[in-house]
């Protein structure tokens, strides 16, 4: 059984994909549950949703056309403790082909680099040139408290602008 359930459904406009649940998220049973994580406040501040959701309300994102998943469904912790075989790119590709969201937003360069099979240094923030079926890809700065030195809400706001006009 995965640490956190996928929140996926047909017809989603946007799916956020992280690397793996943090230890706090695994313990709380909710996505982005660490109080230092900026994910939930940013969804509201950047304009994806008009209400402030809390981690325990994560299943409610589908009512806004949003889904949630991770590349590592059976491992937890910060990126530095994850091993290459913790990630299942093929399983994520299969889910994306099944559900066909319009956009997948990786919530870190690490998640994108694992998915695309490259180094984080070769990943740029924003819209990516790759597609999988009808699904496009976007890379965001990590909302994790551990990545605060890289934080830039402008990438999230740009994605929210796309989200609100599609």
Q: What is the predicted pLDDT for the residue at 148?
A: 85
Sequence-distant (≥ 6) Cβ neighbours of residue 89 within 8 angstroms: 71, 114, 115, 117
Q: What is the predicted pLDDT for the residue at 19?
A: 97
Q: What is the predicted pLDDT for the residue at 27?
A: 97
Q: What is the predicted pLDDT for the residue at 91?
A: 98
Q: What is the predicted pLDDT for the residue at 59?
A: 97
Q: What is the predicted pLDDT for the residue at 111?
A: 97
Delimit the domains of the chain by residue range.
Answer: 14-165
Q: What is the predicted pLDDT for the residue at 136?
A: 98
Q: What is the mean pLDDT of each run of 10 residues along the chain (166 residues)?
A: 95 97 97 97 96 97 98 95 96 98 97 97 97 97 89 96 92
Question: Would the pTM of this model clear 0.95, i.e. be above it?
Answer: yes
Q: Give, as one character, the DSSP assignment of residue 136.
A: E
Q: What is the predicted pLDDT for the residue at 1?
A: 81
Residue 46, token pair as written in the block:
């950047």
Q: What is the predicted pLDDT for the residue at 145?
A: 85
Sequence-distant (≥ 6) Cβ neighbours of residue 74 within 8 angstroms: 2, 3, 86
Calpha distance 139→19 (Å, rounded): 12
Q: What is the predicted pLDDT for the residue at 104?
A: 98
H or E element, residue 40 = helix 39-45
Q: What is the predicted pLDDT for the residue at 30?
A: 98
- DSSP for 55-122 reads GGGGGGGGGGTEEEEES-SS--S-GGG--GGG--HHHHHHHHHHH--SEEEESSHHHHHHHHTS-GGG
Which CATH number fits the domain 14-165, given the four candidates 3.40.50.300, 3.30.310.50, 3.10.20.30, 3.40.470.10? 3.40.470.10
Q: What is the predicted pLDDT for the residue at 3?
A: 96
Q: What is the predicted pLDDT for the residue at 153?
A: 95
């Amino acid at each position: 059984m995965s640490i956190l359930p996928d929140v996926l459904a047909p017809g989603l406009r946007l799916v956020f994909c992280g690397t793996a649940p943090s230890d706090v998220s695994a313990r709380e049973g909710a996505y982005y549950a660490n109080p230092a994580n900026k994910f939930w406040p940013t969804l509201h501040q950047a304009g994806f949703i008009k209400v402030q959701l809390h981690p325990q309300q994560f299943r409610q994102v589908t009512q806004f056309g949003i889904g949630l998943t991770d590349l590592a469904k059976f491992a937890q912790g910060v990126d530095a403790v994850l091993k290459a075989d913790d990630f299942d790119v093929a399983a994520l590709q299969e889910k994306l082909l099944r559900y066909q969201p319009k956009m997948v937003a990786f919530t870190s360069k690490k998640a994108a680099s694992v998915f695309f099979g490259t180094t984080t240094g070769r990943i740029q923030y924003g819209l990516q040139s790759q597609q999988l079926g009808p699904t496009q890809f976007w890379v965001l700065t990590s909302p994790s408290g551990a990545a605060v030195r890289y934080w830039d809400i402008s990438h999230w706001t740009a994605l929210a602008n796309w989200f609100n006009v599609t």
